[in-house]
Amino acid sequence: MTRDRVLLQLLRNLLEEITEKYNSLLQLKEKQAKEFFNLATKDPLTSLYNRYFFFDFLKASILRIQREEEFGKKIALVFIDIDNFKQVNDLFGHEKGDILLKEIAEFFKREIRKSDIIARFGGDEFVVLFEGVDITKESIKERFERIRKKFNDYFKEYQVSFSYGIALFPDELPNWEDKSISDIQKYLIKLADDRMYKDKLLRREKISGGRDGALSSNRGGSR
């Protein structure tokens, strides 16, 4: 083997080694970037999006409507509160409560389309965001009534259910063009939350003597 061929082989070996190390470094950086993204956007218990990512996504959705990037587009925000979750913690302990929250998160992920956004808002509260031009409060309500029936059957062992409230944008916010993104977000969350609470009260009143334990919740105190 001549000297030139030896040098050429050495260069090839060196290039392969550099390429291999570069690929390994690139894979490590990609892994670290993914881990950082998950830490910043995902709830550590349920692996759903966290409230911070939800607000960022909601902001972007509102901006698209303000800029008329998608004519006729609407947003439906659904606020969900798990009924009777406090009793699960009291009877089975918080560890079991955490396991149940994970199962609930997986249930909602199966029932909500991948194109829609679901996040854990905090505690036993969840929020869902739908986008589209054909969204109506009635269509969202029909969907969640079906989901609630399946939910009640699936989790009947724990006697939990959920209450929900729906808010539409821009339909239900007069003069929204003059309001800030932050004000619109707060309005939609409060409107959906208030309607969720009304849903809980109405269902509680329908139950004779209030005997259904599945209509209480743990909102910092209890609802």
Enzyme catalytic residues: 124
DSSP lists the bridge partners of residue 77 as 129, 167
Number of H helices, E strands in the chain: 6, 4
Distance CA 35, CA 28 (A): 10
Structure tokens at 163: 């209450």
The bridge status of strand 125-132 relative to strand 74-83 is antiparallel
Q: In the 8-state DSSP scheme, what is residue 133?
A: S
Q: Which helix (H) or strand (E) holds 38?
A: helix 3-41
Structure tokens at 12: 């090839």
Strand order in the sheet with 74-83: 117-122, 125-132, 74-83, 161-169
Structure tokens at 167: 């808010």
Residue 219: partners with Cβ closer than 8 Å, 6 or more residues away: 81, 123, 125
